Amino acid sequence: MSDLVEFTELPIALPLEIGEEFDGLAATLLDVDKDSYGIILGFGECTGGTACRVGSIDAIALDNIDYDIEADGVPLPLPGRRTGYFFDAACGANCSDGFIRWIDSDVVYSVGLKAARVDDVLPFAWATIRGDLTNTPTAPDRCIGATTPDEGRAAQVAPRRNITWLLICSEDGVVAEVIAGRSELEWLDIDGDSSRDIVLTNEGGQSRLFLVSPMSVQPVLDNETFTRLTVGDMRCGDTDDDGFTEILDAVDGARMEFINQLLVDRSTLVDDVRSLPTCLN
C-alpha cells in the first residue's frame, strides 16, 4: 500500500474487505506509476501466472486509454449512478478474468476474477467503489419479513436467485408490462444506496410492486408503509434529464430509480436476467 500511495497520482480505489471466500489470498502490486496501477490477487506472491492468479484490480488515467472501454461490454448500474461494463471471461487452455470496467474522475478502473460470471464480479466492483461490502448486491442490509436480527442475518445469506424482468415502456411513456419470474416475495435494493427498496410479488400471474421506506420494512403488507402500484399506476420518464429513464408512480408522483440501463429506450422491450439478492418472506 505504501508503494501504491507513493508512486501513483490516481485516486486509489481498493476494497477494505472482499469476503471470507478470499481469505488466504495475497495482493501483489504488479506495476505502478503516476498514471496507472495494477494489483494481482493470488496465492502467495503472484505476478499473473495462471496457477496462482485469482483476480485483479487495475486503474489507468482515461487520457492514456486508446480503446473504447464500452465496446462489447454489457452495461450495468454501479453505485453513485456510475455505469459499469462487464466483459466475460474467455476460456481455452486457460481462463482469463471476467471483469467489470468503469470510469470515475477521469480514471478507468477495472476489477476481475478468473473465469467469473457477472454475479461473481459485481460485488467485487461494488466493494471496490464503496471500500467494503456494505450494501453490495449480495449483502443486503435488511430483509423483508425478518422480525428479529437473527432472522435478518439468516436471510442475508440466502442463495441468490435468477429473476427475469420483462419491461415494456411504450412510446407514450406507459409501462405496459412488468413480469416477475417467481411467485415468492423478492427484496430488491436496485441502486444499493438504500434510498428506495422494492418488493416484487407475483400473485396469480399478476405482478405487484411495493415501494418501501428503508426505515420501515415491516410488516410486509402494511399499507401505511407500502405504496402499492399496479401496472396501470406506472409510467416511464426521464424527469431529471440525466439520460436514464425512471419508472414513476402516476398516482402520487413518487419517483423510483429503476435499473438504469434497462429503460434507456422507452420503446424497447428489454429482457434482462440478473442475479440479485433474495430475502424470502
Reduce the secondary structure of 194-224 to three states and give it as a string.
Answer: CCCEEEEEEECCEEEEEEEECCECCCCCCCC
Write the pLDDT tens digit of every residue in 18-39: 555 556 678 888 899 999 999 9
Judge whether 129 and 80 are in contact, CB under 8 Å.
yes
Place of cell 461494463: 85
Does the residue 140 lie in any domain? no
Domain that holds residue 16: 2-130
Distance (Å, whole) CA 143 – CA 86: 27
Please check whether residues 176 and 204 belong to one and the same domain.
yes
Q: Are 76 and 66 in contact (CB under 8 A)?
A: no
pLDDT in tens, 148-159: 333 333 223 222
Same domain? For 30 and 93 the reply is yes
Q: Are residues 157 and 242 in the same domain?
A: yes
Does residue 136 belong to any structural domain of this protein? no
Please check whether residues 196 and 271 belong to one and the same domain.
yes
25 and 73, same domain (yes or no):
yes
Same domain assignment for residues 77 and 165: no
Backbone φ and ψ of 274, nearest 5°: -130, 150
Instruction: Specify the pLDDT at position 179.
Output: 36
pLDDT tens for 240-277 read 565 544 545 444 444 443 333 232 222 222 222 222 22
Euclidean distance between CA atoms 83 and 230, whole angstroms: 29
CB of 15 closer than 8 Å to CB of 133: yes
Residues 264 and 187 in one domain: yes
Instruction: Look at residue 137 and tell me if it is in a domain.
Output: no
Residue type present at position 20: E
Note whether residue 24 is domain-resident: yes
Chunked into runs of 10 residues, the chain (281 residues) has average pLDDT values of: 84 72 75 93 74 88 88 78 84 83 91 85 82 40 31 29 32 40 41 43 45 32 34 52 51 42 26 26 22
Helices (H), ranges, the chain:
2-7, 118-130, 149-156
**Does this model's pTM top 0.75?**
no
124 and 153 housed in the same domain: no
Same domain for 119 and 72: yes
Residue pair 59/13 in contact by the 8 Å Cβ criterion: yes
Domain match, 160 and 108 both:
no
